[in-house]
Amino acid sequence: MGAIKDILRTMDYGPSPEGSDHVRSWLEEHKSGFGLFIDGAFTKPHDLFDVFNPATGEKIARATQGSPADIDAAVAAARKAQAKWAPLSGFERSKHLYALARHVQKRERFLSVLETIDNGKPIRESRDIDIPLVARHFYHHAGWASLIDSEFPGTRPVGVCGQIIPWNFPLLMLAWKIAPALAAGNTVVLKPAEYTPLTALAFAAICIEAGLPAGVVNIVTGDGLTGAALVAHSGVDKVAFTGSTEVGRAIRKATAGTGKKLSLELGGKSPFVVFEDADLDSAVEGAVDAIWFNQGEVCCAGSRLLVAESVADALYAKLRARMANLRIGDPLDKSTDVGAIVAPVQLERIQRLMREGEKEGLEFFRADDSLPARGCFYPPTLVTGVEAASILAREEIFGPVLVAMTFRTPDEAVALANNTRYGLAASVWTENVNRALEVAARIKAGVVWINSTNMFDAASGFGGYRESGFGREGGREGLHEYRIADEPKAKPSSAKPARLNAAPGLAPASATAGAGLDRTAKLYIGGKQARPDSGYSYAVLDPAGREVGLAGLGNRKDIRNAVEAAAKAASWGAATAHNRAQVLYYAAENLSARAAEFARRLRATTGASVRAAEAEVEASIRRTFVYAGYADKFDGAVHATRSRFITLAMNEPWGVMGVVCPDGAPLLAFVSLVMPAIAMGNCVVVVPSAGHPLSVTDFYSVLDTSDVPAGVVNIVTGEANALAKTLAEHDGVDALWYLGDAEGAKQVEALSAGNLKATWVKASAVDWRQAEGREFLRRATQVKNIWTPYGE
């Protein structure tokens, strides 16, 4: 160690390794291998795989590769336990979660050291960030356990949850999954990542120690095969996954049509935007936290630095100087800043991507290329001169590599920020509060940090837009993932079932082009009636099989045109909620003025009685009023997270939504689905009931006379499942509601895996008289959490 004045200059205090004897002796006790934690006890180890310390390459443990039979046993234990766990009072469940929090806290040092040895992250981070947040998560959800019944009325637990987590924050991701599931009355089978199973196994021991009832938490270790078996298990009611977009997509397909609830928290390529008026020194510290925290192995890492051209050189110079002070090395050393990469395979992935970048001739900066002699390390790297099309700007590197691009105007900054298929997080640096909030609103990401980065708290939701997944973890938003709404039993609707295949007239009835007097209801696209691309129409039959009219036979091309028109109308989402409410009221008024005509049409096409038809029209008017009323009342929230932060949870529209209506109650179902969607600012492409489309095609003129801007509602009639297929495959559709048959529901979920659009499918009958309320609004929005600091 040098003289004190040298130390003050270099800040080099010499090595200060954290003691690890207690962890090493625990590992020694389990030298023969870890079993699985099923039904409150550890099983006999079998099919062991090796677990390594990535900082040294040393083998530290062996864990069991869970088999399908193990998954069976774990799911059965969880099912049995759920029957007793769900009926416990909220207070009882709360005490259990509180006990878990206390025990985690008691073992903080042990868990921090174990996490660091298993994952390679610096002890400073596991000790000061990961494990305290784990305890915080259990405390927060201990609170929710006792509040869930009063705060989530009309809902119940989902059941048995299969949860799969990655290796970058092993115990923290476990807490994010287990705490809300248990608080909401579910039981779980959790599979940790194969590189980092150890803290989950230590947590299993904590469950025993804390007296958690057997089977409430089950931990099954293993690789992707074990994960796939868990996803596929018919006894699992919900799958919650955090990991790569690629595996998320596979899980979306595997669960399609099974009725399993699904939440996905996937990859990211998050922008870190620095404007010319930013406090550059703070931004540099922010960048360190954004990309060199946890070696950049963070799904929401600020990995794309977008900087105003006028300050780019100044910022790069400061960053380079700061990089020279980053210490890379032994993660157990308390003064290490950058630890080890989790495993050789991940290191190779980083190296491969960097070679690709080198081929593109990009400029790399590393303060110091020297790395520890052994273990898996990669130096902090800054890449400048990057084009938006570069592989390094597009692909998630999941390593300590920051790629930088410049912009000239705020519009260009937003365009660059959104130029990615992901949408997990963003960081915005500017001293101008107006600009900060405007840019936060325009960036498509589930979390936006203003003048800060990588802020997490149990009270705030976290999760992505677009291909970063759907569903939120944390806070009130996260709990929705672990509850399902009680649904009133559906009574037969006023409409007689007229499924497509039972309507013989659906086959092309006539070529509309050139026909003399054209009685065919057309499509409605971009505020205009449009002939179907096919040129064909189909006969709409009444229940007695008599033709009551013709409707356009829409096809793939019509859907594409409709999606394009909807995307062009996006400014609807930026209109004030009051404006949207006025438009909805106007539509209700115009429908009301023509109530008798609509009731006649319903009677003629569905065979409903006079009373039933009038009641359906009346209910449609009332429902439109309800959503007009809701337009400016479905508020967001201000979460109580960290001190000196306002965390705003904003309900934002998806953008373009597809809505496929069921056959029953053709007018009321249409209104019940479309009105909440547009009240929240979405533009929709609607496929009305194929059997009874005419009440909806009559609605065109209601839209025309109600000031609904062109493109906000687009309607394509035709064969529902064929049109649903195009909507599901279309990357311009951000969310899709499908109400139809089981086969169609499965198709929609499977095909939505392309851009990972959020889907809401129902294959069972719905009682449309009661289908109303906040659940529809929640499904019509996604939550963006904006963290805004205050104080100097």
Question: Which range in 73-81, 226-234, 710-718, 746-754 contacts ligand ADP by CB under 6 A?
Answer: 226-234
Choose between 118 and 194: whose C-beta lies nearer to ligand ADP.
Answer: 194
E strand residue ranges, 221-324: 238-242, 261-265, 270-274, 302-308
Using a 10 angstrom Cβ sphere, with 0-12 exposed, 13-18 middle and 19 or more buried, the burial of residue 577 is middle
Residue 40 in contact with ligand ADP, rule: CB under 6 A: no
CB of 231 to ligand ADP, least distance (A): 5
Choose between 223 and 564: whose C-beta lies nearer to ligand ADP.
Answer: 223
Here the tokens at position 120 are: 């390679």
Residue 54 in contact with ligand ADP, rule: CB under 6 A: no
Residue with tokens 């150890």: 198
- The residue at minimum Cβ distance from ligand ADP is 227
Choose between 164 and 188: whose C-beta lies nearer to ligand ADP.
Answer: 164
Q: For residue 624, how many other CB atoms are within 10 A of its CB?
A: 26
Total residues binding ligand ADP (CB under 6 A): 16
CB of 300 to ligand ADP, least distance (A): 13
Q: For residue 535, how many other CB atoms are within 10 A of its CB?
A: 15
Give the residues across from 62 on adjacent strands: 50
Please report, to the nearest 10 degrees, the dihedral formed by the alpha carbons of residues 89, 94, 97, 102 taken in order: -140
Rounded-to-integer distance, Cα 703 and Cα 329, Å: 65
* Nearest alpha-carbon partner for 766 in 673, 691, 658, 627: 673
Query: For ligand ADP, which residue of 73, 99, 161, 193 counts as binding (CB under 6 A)?
Result: 193
Contact (Cβ atoms closer than 8 angstroms) between residue 716 and residue 687: yes
Query: For ligand ADP, which residue of 72, 108, 223, 487 counts as binding (CB under 6 A)?
Result: 223
Site for ligand ADP in 245-304 (CB under 6 A): 247, 250-251
Name the catalytic one among 265, 297, 467, 749: 265
Positive or negative, the CA dihedral 308, 313, 314, 318 is positive
Residue 231 in contact with ligand ADP, rule: CB under 6 A: yes
Contact (Cβ atoms closer than 8 angstroms) between residue 569 and residue 682: no
Question: Which range in 227-235, 269-277, 322-330, 749-757 contacts ligand ADP by CB under 6 A?
Answer: 227-235
Residue with tokens 């129902």: 762
Choose between 228 and 498: whose C-beta lies nearer to ligand ADP.
Answer: 228
Query: For ligand ADP, which residue of 70, 118, 130, 194 counts as binding (CB under 6 A)?
Result: 194
Rounded-to-integer distance, Cα 176 and Cα 239, Å: 14
Rounded-to-integer distance, Cα 304 and Cα 382, Å: 10
CB of 299 to ligand ADP, least distance (A): 8
Contact (Cβ atoms closer than 8 angstroms) between residue 452 and residue 311: no
Q: Is 614 a catalytic residue?
A: no
**Longest distance between any two alpha carbons in the chain, whole Å:** 99
Contact (Cβ atoms closer than 8 angstroms) between residue 548 and residue 540: yes
Cα separations (Å) of 677 from 36, 90, 613, 624? Answer: 45, 34, 24, 11
CB of 248 to ligand ADP, least distance (A): 7
Choose between 66 and 664: whose C-beta lies nearer to ligand ADP.
Answer: 66
Residue 623 in contact with ligand ADP, rule: CB under 6 A: no
Residue 224 in contact with ligand ADP, rule: CB under 6 A: yes
Question: Which range in 219-227, 525-533, 661-669, 714-722 contacts ligand ADP by CB under 6 A?
Answer: 219-227
Q: Is 300 a catalytic residue?
A: no
CB of 20 to ligand ADP, least distance (A): 25
Choose between 241 and 737: whose C-beta lies nearer to ligand ADP.
Answer: 241
Rounded-to-integer distance, Cα 12 and Cα 126, Å: 21
Residue 385 in contact with ligand ADP, rule: CB under 6 A: no
Residue 191 in contact with ligand ADP, rule: CB under 6 A: yes
Rounded-to-integer distance, Cα 186 and Cα 179, Å: 10
Site for ligand ADP in 128-187 (CB under 6 A): 164-166
Q: Would you tell me the crossing angle of helices 666-679 and 610-630 to the nearest 10 degrees? A: 0
Residue 228 in contact with ligand ADP, rule: CB under 6 A: yes
Name the catalytic one among 161, 207, 299, 300: 299
Q: For residue 69, how many other CB atoms are within 10 A of its CB?
A: 9
CB of 467 to ligand ADP, least distance (A): 13
Site for ligand ADP in 237-256 (CB under 6 A): 243-244, 247, 250-251
Residues that are catalytic: 265, 299
> In the complex, which residues of this chain contact ligand ADP (CB under 6 A)?
164-166, 191, 193-194, 223-224, 227-228, 231, 243-244, 247, 250-251
